[in-house]
Every structure is written in structure tokens, then in C-alpha cells.
């Protein structure tokens, strides 16, 4: 490698790390430097959020299902009751006709 | 051409499926009623409800079997403070929507003494009964039931007495 290449390599612009700005500002204002969160903390937070969302969705599905079940039973109770009433009246009328004839 | 025809067919079938539900307009009555019961279960909610009906319990298993074939259950009950808060014209309006060739009235009970009217309509199809509608008018209560899909009256009869459903006695024809 010649001198020109070595100089070019040494002077190549580099992107600062994400914490660089924070560190510089902390020095300027005399604030303590906050350590960067460890990568696994983010994964755990993401996983916890996923579990929370999934359990929420399951709970809502359970609620909707139980409510729908109760509505089905109520609907059958009402429909059955009205049919029963009509059936009984028809039977009473038939019985009355038989007695008359 | 096929790409256009398929979505059109889907829209047509969706329209036909929606057409099986009786589109009663309750707005006028809802304003006059003191209490009301509203059950609105479309196909997806019925499938969900079926999953929550226990297959281990014989009674719930029967309900589950009936529900699985249905496309919708719509029940509306209005309670009124005084007799006459709804008019015979209101009831006639609901009946008029069933006066089509699709629907057939199988039972009509009118009691002047008790002021009670019950009309039971079925929607016959190739496989038997494709839908059920009930209009029950009492002096201070009006109930409208619409069950969309194949409903077996014998099964409904067997369910009588369970889940507080009164016993329904339907005479079986001798074969």
C-alpha cells in the first residue's frame, strides 16, 4: 500500500455510533452518560409486547364467543317459547273441535 | 373475461345470501318501547358460538349441531308500557314483508280474548326448511324472530325444556 492510499484510508469519513450525540451532549451539559440498552433487553421487550397482544386477542375472542353462545341460547329460548305458545293454541282448538263434533 | 366474471358471481351470491334475511325496520318501534332484546348473530358469530358450546354436554351438542348449519339468527323483542303503544299497522308492516312466494305461513294463531297473535312462517327449499320467521304480538310485547338457514323443527322440538326453552310439541308424521 502506498502512502497516498494509507492517507486516504486514514482520513476516510466514519459514521459516529448511535450513542455519540448523547455522550457529547452529556459532556457539554455535565450530565451522566446513560449506558446504551443491551440488545437482549429489546428482544425481551418485543416478546413481552407480543405475549400481551396475543393474550389480549385471546381474551377478546373468549368474551365474544361466550357472548355469542349466550345469545344463541336466548334466541332459541325466545323462538321455542313462541312456537310452543302457537302449538298449544292449535292443540287446544283441535281438542275443542273434536269435543264439539 | 373470467377475471371479471368471478368477482361478479361472488357479489351476486353474496347478495342472494343477504337476501335470505328478512329486512325488518324496527326504528319506529324502538322509539316507543320501554325495553328491548336484540339478538344479531351472523354466520361468523354463529360459527364462533358453536365452538363455545360444549360437545361433551348432550344438550349443548344438539344446539351446536343445529347452529352449525345456520347462516343467521335475528331476534328482536320490544316491551311497551301500555297496550296500544304499537298499532296493528306496525305488525301488518312486518307481516307484509313475508307475503312473498318465498315464505309460507304454517301457523297463524289469533286470540281476541287474550289479544295475542302468533304467526309462524317457513321458507321452503329443496332440502326442506331454509328459514324460519315468527311474529308474536301480545298487548305489551312484540317479538320478531328470523332464523336464516336450514332449521329442523324436530331438533328444535327435542330441545324443548332445555336451557329454559319451553317444551315444543310438534306432531311427527307417521311414515
How many CB atoms neighbour CB B50 within 10 A?
22
pLDDT at B157: 61
pLDDT at A36: 75
C-alpha B145/C-alpha B87 separation (Å) is 19
Give the nearest partner residue to B163 out of A77, A82, A87, using CB atoms.
Answer: A77
Q: What's the whole-number mean pLDDT along residues A4-31?
A: 82
Q: Are B32 and A66 in contact (CB under 8 A)?
A: no
pLDDT at A97 over 60: yes
CB-based burial, B112-149: b 16+ in 10 Å, e otherwise: eeeebbbbbbbbeeeeebbbbbbbbbbebbbbbbbbbb
Distances (CA, A) of A16 to A9, A24, B54, B111: 17, 11, 62, 89
Task: Count residue pairs from A and B with Cβ separation < 8 A.
Answer: 105
Q: Establish if B174 belongs to a structural domain.
A: no
State the nearest Cα–Cα gap between B54 and chain A, in angstroms: 10
| E strand or H helix at A21 | helix A20-29
Whose CA is closest to B145, among B112, B101, B114, B107? B107
C-alpha A72/C-alpha B63 separation (Å) is 9
Q: Are A60 and B48 in contact (CB under 8 A)?
A: no
pLDDT at B162: 53
Q: Establish if B14 belongs to a structural domain.
A: no
Q: Establish if B98 belongs to a structural domain.
A: yes
pLDDT at A49: 96
Q: Establish if B132 belongs to a structural domain.
A: yes
Q: Establish if B19 belongs to a structural domain.
A: no
C-alpha B151/C-alpha B73 separation (Å) is 11
Give the nearest partner residue to B160 out of A64, A73, A80, using CB atoms.
Answer: A80
Whose CA is closest to B119, among B127, B138, B129? B138
Q: Based on the structure, what is the number of domains in chain B?
A: 1
C-alpha B168/C-alpha B153 separation (Å) is 9
* Widest pairwise Cα distance in chain B: 63
Return phi, psi of residue A23, to 5°. Answer: -65, -45
C-alpha B36/C-alpha B64 separation (Å) is 26
The answer to whether residue B51 neighbours chain A at the CB level (below 8 Å) is yes
Q: Summarize pLDDT for A13-25 with one digit per residue, the tens.
A: 888 887 888 888 7
pLDDT at B160: 52
Q: What is the DSSP string of B106-117?
A: EEEEEETTTTEE
Work out the end-to-end distance of chain B between its first and last CA atoms, rounded to an integer number of angstroms. Answer: 51
Return the higher-pLDDT residue of B34 and A9.
B34
Q: Do B52 and A74 touch (CB under 8 A)?
A: no
C-alpha B75/C-alpha B72 separation (Å) is 10
State the nearest Cα–Cα gap between B6 and chain A, in angstroms: 32
Q: Establish if B9 belongs to a structural domain.
A: no
Q: Are B49 and B63 in contact (CB under 8 A)?
A: no
User: Which residues of chain B have a pLDDT value below 50?
Assistant: 9-19, 161, 164-175
Find chain A residues with C-beta within 8 A of B45's C-beta. 64, 68, 71
Q: Establish if B31 belongs to a structural domain.
A: yes
Q: Summarize pLDDT for A32-84 with one digit per residue, the tens.
A: 667 777 888 889 999 999 999 999 999 999 999 999 999 998 888 888 888 87
Find chain B residues with C-beta within 8 A of A87's C-beta. 107, 168-170
Return the higher-pLDDT residue of B84 and A29.
B84
pLDDT at A99 over 50: yes
pLDDT at A50: 96
Return the higher-pLDDT residue of A27 and B48.
B48
Return the higher-pLDDT residue of A4 and B3.
A4
Counting Cβ atoms within 10 Å, is residue B93 exposed (0-12), middle (13-18) or buried (19+)?
Answer: middle
pLDDT at A39: 81
Which residue ranges make up each domain of chain A? 11-100
Find chain A residues with C-beta within 8 A of B51's C-beta. 65
State the nearest Cα–Cα gap between B111 and chain A, in angstroms: 9
Crossing angle (nearest 10°) for helices B58-68 and A39-100? 90
What is the residue range of B97's domain? 26-164
pLDDT at A14: 81
Measured between CA atoms, the residue of chain B closest to residue A91 is: B169
Q: Establish if B3 belongs to a structural domain.
A: no
Amino acid at each position: 500500500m502506498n502512502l497516498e492510499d494509507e492517507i486516504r484510508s486514514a482520513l476516510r469519513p466514519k459514521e459516529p455510533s448511535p450513542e455519540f450525540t448523547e455522550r457529547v451532549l452529556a459532556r457539554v451539559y455535565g450530565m451522566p452518560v446513560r449506558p446504551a440498552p443491551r440488545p437482549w433487553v429489546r428482544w425481551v421487550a418485543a416478546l413481552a409486547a407480543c405475549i400481551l397482544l396475543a393474550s389480549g386477542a385471546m381474551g377478546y375472542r373468549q368474551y365474544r364467543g361466550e357472548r355469542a353462545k349466550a345469545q344463541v341460547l336466548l334466541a332459541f329460548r325466545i323462538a321455542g317459547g313462541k312456537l310452543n305458545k302457537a302449538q298449544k293454541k292449535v292443540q287446544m282448538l283441535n281438542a275443542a273441535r273434536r269435543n264439539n263434533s | 373475461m373470467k377475471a371479471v366474471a368471478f368477482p361478479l358471481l361472488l357479489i351476486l351470491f353474496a347478495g342472494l345470501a343477504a337476501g335470505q334475511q328478512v329486512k325488518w325496520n324496527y326504528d319506529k318501534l324502538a322509539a316507543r318501547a320501554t325495553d328491548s332484546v336484540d339478538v344479531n348473530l351472523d354466520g361468523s358469530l354463529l360459527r364462533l358460538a358453536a365452538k363455545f358450546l360444549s360437545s361433551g354436554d348432550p344438550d349443548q351438542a344438539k344446539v351446536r349441531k343445529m347452529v352449525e348449519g345456520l347462516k343467521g339468527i335475528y331476534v328482536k323483542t320490544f316491551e311497551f308500557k301500555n297496550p296500544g303503544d304499537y298499532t296493528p299497522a306496525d305488525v301488518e308492516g312486518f307481516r307484509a314483508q313475508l307475503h312473498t312466494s318465498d315464505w309460507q305461513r304454517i301457523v297463524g294463531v289469533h286470540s281476541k280474548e287474550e289479544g295475542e297473535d302468533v304467526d309462524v312462517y317457513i321458507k321452503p327449499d329443496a332440502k326442506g326448511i331454509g328459514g324460519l320467521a315468527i311474529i308474536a304480538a301480545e298487548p305489551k310485547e312484540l317479538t320478531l324472530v328470523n332464523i336464516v338457514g336450514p332449521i329442523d323443527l324436530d331438533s328444535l322440538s327435542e330441545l324443548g325444556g332445555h336451557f329454559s326453552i319451553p317444551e315444543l310439541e310438534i306432531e311427527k308424521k307417521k311414515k
